[in-house]
Amino acid sequence: MEIDAAGIQSIPADQAPPTPLSMFVWRFRRNTKAVVGLVIVLSLILIAIFAPILAPQDPLDGNLSASLVGPGGEYLLGTDKNGRDVLSRLIYGARVAIGGALGVVIISELIGVPLGIWAGYKGGRVDAVIMRFFDLMLAFPPLLLSFAVVAAFGPSLRNVIISLGILYVPFAARVVRSVTLVQKEMVYTEAARAMGYPQRRIVFRHILPNTLSSVIVVTSLDLAFAMLDIAALSFLGLGVQPPTPDWGTMLSEGRAVLLTSPHVAVGAGVAILIAVLGFNLLGDGLRDVLDPRQANK
Amino acid sequence: MARLIITRLLTMIPLMFIVASVVFLMLRFVPGDPARIIVGNQRITEENLQNIRVQYRLDKPVLVQYGYWVKDLAQGDLGRSFRQRADVNTLILERLNVTAQLVISSFLLSMIISIPLGIISALRRNTWVDFSATIFSLIGASSPVYFTGIILILLFSYKLNWLPALGEGDGGWDTVKHLALPSLALGFSLACVTTRLTRSAMIEALSQDYIETARSKGLSARTVVMKHAFRNAMIPIVTVAGLQFGALVVGTVLIEYTFGIGGLGSLIVQAVQVRDYPIVQGATIFIAAIFILVNLIVDILYAVIDPRIRY
């Protein structure tokens, strides 16, 4: 970590005054957590995109005569019980992990952001009803409610994404609501109202852009939670189904052969850990960068 | 206080009712014939299938089934399992003991690890103790609890051969030995979150004016930290400890599966896998009830810790 306290005064005087974006970049680069998180997240995204180029073997096609080979040698991280290359499966697993988590967060925010703005802007009874309902949802761990969905509609990645997406709605909505409550009382919003601007304009021009930084932080942290929840469901056999290469499923398969071939479970577990850590660090770091007051709490 | 408990218990009833109804209706509006789930892969005549439908009231319209179910629920009857020849109540009670032991020991372990660690981190802010505690808890919070469990199995069971890796033991010392690793895995995962929270709550409390006053009165460092700062830091800690009950329940499900423990968690997972709806909904409602009770206890604790809070 660079010396933060001294760094504050280190903008050279001969430079142009900082824009909000350059201020953001400058603060971001001084935040170790944010930078490490971003590096991990970007690497993961690149791995997911270029999986076919990066993977040394076919993730689905096993060589049964090379079942449960240990790490090192021809297979860098060894093979699983079907003789499939663990490294290649881990690389392809990044697609499911990131795609799944993104799906959950996109669904939750498409519903949660408008609901949060609506509740915060309207206030009164609308707000009370929506918030009571969310309290009820939050009173319960999302994973447990997904169990009921999976029991009803069967185990699949799609069902997991939809159910978690809906169960994550309160997370996004509550944050957006609290920002809306503050923005609604700001002088410029007041002025826009006094000038007779339509509500639509006030919401889209004044309130929505101001929720952006909170939404970014929530997105990053929710991606970490979603990744953990999807992996957990797959680990229990209730999410991604074999033979799709997926970290949670691989960990579950690895658990069955733990005594003889721990490399399968450890590889998958480390992959989940690094990915979740990356999104957690990025989210934590972004919160420090975007909202210094919150960070000191 | 008595009024608080009574009102909270009364608001619990509609809350429970909504949770129960949502779960029930979701499971009933699903395509497929539940009677077929009950028989599984057995060959069966249409007549016997019809008998099963009558026995489980599956021949009635969904709303009538719902009516019966609400009536049974009001009497504390969670119904009968589709697959196992037993009442859901019996199945839950059978499995409850080991899960309760797991939950309580994990919770205690997490407190024993996190509170001292959080206090020390806050007192020695920005030292190597603080940094290592922060990094440790960040990594721990990102590791799925079942992976933490698998690492503990590899280390303490396979490598060192100190503790058993699977099962719940046969009571007494054997159970303690069997539950040690699962409790540690779960307790450690929870501790990672609580450590960070205790640290920030303590830093907040230590920066207050009354700490300065207490110090200038010449009170010992110990009294200042424990009596003045920690007591005030307890409110956010208790809040999160209560909220963590959710993580604890989910963690128990995963940990039981990892360590092959036949508790409530494995009961639910098995039921989901074979679509044994009565168990899924019964266990969900049971956990919801405990959840609401835990939140009530947290509210009562507030008043005990902080006499300024009155209900």
Does B280 contact A236 at a Cβ distance shorter than 8 Å? no
B183 plus B301 within the same structural domain: yes
The burial of B71, by beta-carbon neighbours within 10 Å (0-12 exposed, 13-18 middle, 19 or more buried), is given as: exposed
Mean pLDDT of B43-72: 80
Instruction: For the domain made up of A39-61+72-294, give the CATH fold.
Output: MetI-like fold (1.10.3720)
In a domain, B79, yes or no: no
CATH number at residue B99: 1.10.3720.10
B43 plus B131 within the same structural domain: no
Check residue A292 and give its pLDDT: 56
- pLDDT tens per residue across span B211-253: 888 888 877 777 888 777 887 777 777 777 777 777 888 889 9
Residue showing tokens 């024993």: B112
Does B23 contact A147 at a Cβ distance shorter than 8 Å? no
> What are the sequence ranges of the domains in chain A?
39-61+72-294
Last-in-domain residue among B43, B74, B105: B74
For A136, nearest residue in chain B (alpha carbons): B15
For A262, nearest residue in chain B (alpha carbons): B154
Residues of chain B contacting A266 with CB distance shorter than 8 Å: 150-151, 154
Residues of chain B contacting A151 with CB distance shorter than 8 Å: 27, 271-272, 275-277, 280
Mean pLDDT of A118-142: 82
Is residue A104's pLDDT more than 90? Answer: yes
Check residue B310 and give its pLDDT: 62
Of A140-154, B57-71, B132-146, give the range with the top mean pLDDT: B132-146
- pLDDT tens per residue across span B105-153: 999 999 898 888 888 888 888 888 888 888 888 888 889 999 999 999 8
Does B146 contact A235 at a Cβ distance shorter than 8 Å? yes
Is residue A297's pLDDT more than 50? Answer: no
Q: Which of B29, B151, B287 lies at the smallest CB-CB distance from A144?
A: B287
Is residue B14's pLDDT more than 90? Answer: no
B138 plus B228 within the same structural domain: yes
Check residue A2 and give its pLDDT: 43
**Beta-carbon pairs below 8 A across chains A and B:** 118
B204 plus B300 within the same structural domain: yes
Mean pLDDT of A219-236: 92
Q: What percent of chain B has pLDDT over 90?
A: 8
Mean pLDDT of A132-155: 79
In a domain, B81, yes or no: no
B135 plus B272 within the same structural domain: yes
At B84, phi and psi to the nearest 5? -100, 140
Check residue A12 and give its pLDDT: 59
Does B15 contact A140 at a Cβ distance shorter than 8 Å? no
Does B142 contact A276 at a Cβ distance shorter than 8 Å? yes
Is residue A295's pLDDT more than 60? Answer: no
Residues of chain A contacting B153 with CB distance shorter than 8 Å: 258
3-state secondary structure chain B: CHHHHHHHHHHHHHHHHHHHHHHHHHHHCCCCCHHHHHHCCCCCCHHHHHHHHHHCCCCCCHHHHHHHHHHHHHCCCCCECCCCCCEHHHHHHHHHHHHHHHHHHHHHHHHHHHHHHHHHHHHCCCCHHHHHHHHHHHHHHHCCHHHHHHHHHHHHHHHCCCCCCCCCCCCCHHHHHHHHHHHHHHHHHHHHHHHHHHHHHHHHHHCCHHHHHHHHCCCCHHHHHHHHHHHHHHHHHHHHHHHHHHHHHHHHHHHHHHHCCCCHHHHHHHHHHCCCHHHHHHHHHHHHHHHHHHHHHHHHHHHHHCCCCCC
Q: Which of A148, A231, A269 lies at the smallest CB-CB distance from B284?
A: A148
Residues of chain B contacting A144 with CB distance shorter than 8 Å: 249-250, 253, 284, 287
Rounded-to-integer distance, Cα A72 and Cα B129, Å? 36
Rounded-to-integer distance, Cα A32 and Cα A37, Å? 8
Does A140 contact B246 at a Cβ distance shorter than 8 Å? yes
Check residue A98 and give its pLDDT: 94
Does A238 contact B272 at a Cβ distance shorter than 8 Å? yes
Check residue A1 and give its pLDDT: 41
Residues of chain A contacting B269 with CB distance shorter than 8 Å: 147, 236-238
- pLDDT tens per residue across span A40-83: 999 999 999 998 888 787 777 777 777 777 777 777 777 777 77
B40 plus B99 within the same structural domain: no
Question: Mean pLDDT, chain B, as a whole number?
Answer: 82
In a domain, B131, yes or no: yes
Residues of chain B contacting A255 with CB distance shorter than 8 Å: 146, 150, 258
**Which of B232, B251, B205 shows the shortest CA–CA distance to B302?**
B232
Q: What is the ipTM of this complex?
A: 0.82
Chain B: nearest CA to A145, how far in angstroms?
A: 8
Mean pLDDT of A161-173: 91
Band of residue B186 on the pLDDT scale cut at 50, 70, 90: very high
The residue ranking higher by pLDDT, B39 or B150, is B150
Check residue A6 and give its pLDDT: 47
B16 plus B105 within the same structural domain: no
pTM over 0.90: no
Check residue A121 and give its pLDDT: 87
Interchain contact A132–B (C-beta under 8 A): no
| CA atoms in the 13 A half-sphere facing the CB of A163 | 26
Q: What percent of chain A has pLDDT over 90?
A: 29
In a domain, B80, yes or no: no
Strand, helix or coil for residue A85: strand
Q: Which of residues 26-85 of A touch B (CB under 8 A)?
A: none
Check residue A210 and give its pLDDT: 83
Check residue A296 and give its pLDDT: 41
Q: What percent of chain B has pLDDT over 70?
A: 96
Does B295 contact A139 at a Cβ distance shorter than 8 Å? yes
Question: Mean pLDDT, chain A, as a whole number?
Answer: 84
Is residue B272's pLDDT more than 90? Answer: no
For B251, nearest residue in chain A (alpha carbons): A232
| Residues 6 or more apart in contact with residue B104 via CB below 8 angstroms | none
Q: Which of A140, A144, A269 lies at the smallest CB-CB distance from B147?
A: A269
Chain A: nearest CA to B50, how far in angstroms?
A: 22
Mean pLDDT of A235-246: 88
Count of structural domains, chain B = 2
A32, A143, A288, best to mutate vs chain B, most B CBs in 10 Å: A143
Check residue A10 and give its pLDDT: 55
Mean pLDDT of B8-18: 75
B104 plus B157 within the same structural domain: yes
Does B146 contact A251 at a Cβ distance shorter than 8 Å? yes
In terms of residue numbers, what domain contains B140?
Answer: 95-305
B100 plus B69 within the same structural domain: no
Mean pLDDT of B164-174: 76
B20 plus B130 within the same structural domain: no
Chain A: nearest CA to B189, how far in angstroms?
A: 12
Check residue B185 and give its pLDDT: 92
Distance from first CA to last CA of chain B, Å, rounded?
Answer: 7
Chain A: nearest CA to B146, how far in angstroms?
A: 8
A135, A255, A293, best to mutate vs chain B, most B CBs in 10 Å: A255
Check residue B254 and give its pLDDT: 92
Chain A: nearest CA to B200, how far in angstroms?
A: 7
B22 plus B60 within the same structural domain: yes
B12, B15, B29, B150, best to mutate vs chain A, most A CBs in 10 Å: B150
Rounded-to-integer distance, Cα A175 and Cα A286, Å? 15
Check residue A14 and give its pLDDT: 65
In a domain, B42, yes or no: yes
For B138, nearest residue in chain A (alpha carbons): A277
Mean pLDDT of A137-159: 81
Structure tokens at B7: 């009102």
Band of residue A7 on the pLDDT scale cut at 50, 70, 90: very low
